[in-house]
Structure 1
């Protein structure tokens, strides 16, 4: 007999990029057990699904097996955690819309590390961004921090590689499934992180990257972290979305100031004006946390 976590995985494989749909089904069937016994007509009557979506779900539940999905994940060295599991990261569970399922490759214990800092910024960083971020990461106590970022080119890449260089662990949160690592330029980096650190995705492995996946995954980057550092960002930047997510989640937001002549300082200076903490040294970050 299947468990709720297995049924959630099964459902998530169909609706992995549709958080609202899973929430709707959970609202009418909290254990996700009844829908397996419903006829097509019952699905149409008792769930918020349209006839076409009810037909699709009914066919899926009748023709795919949970064990086959689990075998597929195991074959590709993918583990998973559901929101019902004790191992689910407690920081992430606190956010308004925590992912129902997380797919993992690597060291899953990093998810519950007590010292997590997310780092994001522009995809076209300057040398100043690299130097500034390296200075801060070097100042963190080695082997006692986890740097979380999104594997994008630019500041995200700096964050992952500098973390490894200076003795920290790193988590990369993807905006796609594991079968479609994006961007292609960072596939080697993703392989290294998979082997030595941790890759995370809320999307089933078959999901290719889509534009709207990346703003959604930003809530996970900030949600896994006690604080978020914005390194460089233009006035209109995806990094500001991550900062907004962190604020909505009640987390600390830090910003690295930059030259007033650089367009990549506009976003960070705006955040500082709005109350983000200006970072001059790593003490400006660590002093905000009780790190026993």
Structure 2
């Protein structure tokens, strides 16, 4: 198993992308012995434009798996790696899937094949709320698992409806489990950790850096058979998820809206790019039968 190597590289400070670069640089890295791995890593670090090269190597040298596992246990944080059978099969299909997923909650939730991501603007209006209010009884009837990103607005509404209807829900963080953003969704997150699952590709103390959220969005769509966009401005982060979903060959659903409404400009753009315009909940559910 490569679990130890994945953990060691992530906690040394290498990102998921950098680990892929390392494995392209040295395809035999995982099979190498300790001394060979150190030598390979030193050579690889010379190719990176990073100010943390020295620190990465030092952390790699000092890595203690037993100590780390004890610390994760104290934080009530578990993990799965891409080599394990419990890793979500849909996520494994995407380009450069995360090697490790850290989680709190019920791991069985991510085994569902009936996953639907629901995303939208942080400034989502009553249009989102009323649509979800109408659609969720049917989502419940068809045993869907709801995926979203715990942001304020549409994400929060999606998780709230899932919790209300006692449906499984997956929250994907753009930071480590020891942090939270925004604070307005902390209570929702606590409830999801008790009944659903909260996952992150970032090590537990990773802060919510701006560049993390586009990376997180590829996981939201990657976990899902389809992505439902309720409202999105033309340049919103939601459109990043839409692009990820289309690249991952996921079905994308969007609510229609007037051309003069900024809150649905992104929806119309997505429709032009291949998203399916939704007139009723059946337009989504026909793909889940």
TM-score (norm 1): 0.91
1:50 and 2:46 aligned: yes
Task: Provide the residue aligned with 2:160 in structure 1.
Answer: 161
CA contact (8 A) 1:12 1:204 kept: yes
Q: How does 1:1-292 map to 2 (within 5 A)?
A: 3-15=1-13, 18-27=15-24, 28=26, 30=28, 32=30, 34=32, 36-38=34-36, 43-44=41-42, 47-50=43-46, 55-142=54-141, 144-289=143-288, 291=289
CA contact (8 A) 1:35 1:43 kept: no
1:33 to partner: Cα distance: 5.1
Per the alignment, do residues 61 and 259 of structure 1 end up closer, same or farther by CA in structure 2, a change over 3 Å counting? same
Tell me the secondary structure at the aligned position of residue 105 of structure 1: strand
How many correspondences in the alignment?
A: 285
Structure 1: state its 5+ residue gaps: none
Q: CA RMSD in A?
A: 2.0
For 1:40 and 1:83, how far apart are their aligned partners in 2? 23
CA contact (8 A) 2:12 2:57 kept: no
1:53 to partner: Cα distance: 5.8
1:223 to partner: Cα distance: 0.2
CA contact (8 A) 1:15 1:21 kept: no
CA contact (8 A) 1:228 1:251 kept: yes
Per the alignment, do residues 40 and 111 of structure 1 end up closer, same or farther by CA in structure 2, a change over 3 Å counting? closer
1:248 to partner: Cα distance: 0.3
TM-score (norm 2): 0.92
Structure 2: state its 5+ residue gaps: none
1:241 to partner: Cα distance: 0.6
For 2:186 and 2:203, how far apart are their aligned partners in 1? 18
Per the alignment, do residues 39 and 211 of structure 1 end up closer, same or farther by CA in structure 2, a change over 3 Å counting? closer
For 2:273 and 2:53, how far apart are their aligned partners in 1? 46
For 1:30 and 1:146, how far apart are their aligned partners in 2? 38
1:90 to partner: Cα distance: 0.4
For 1:139 and 1:252, how far apart are their aligned partners in 2? 18
CA contact (8 A) 2:5 2:30 kept: yes
Q: Which moved more, 1:207-216 or 1:31-40?
A: 31-40
Per the alignment, do residues 135 and 34 of structure 1 end up closer, same or farther by CA in structure 2, a change over 3 Å counting? same
For 1:38 and 1:55, how far apart are their aligned partners in 2? 18
CA contact (8 A) 1:137 1:162 kept: yes
CA contact (8 A) 1:40 1:55 kept: no
CA contact (8 A) 2:12 2:60 kept: no
1:143 to partner: Cα distance: 7.4
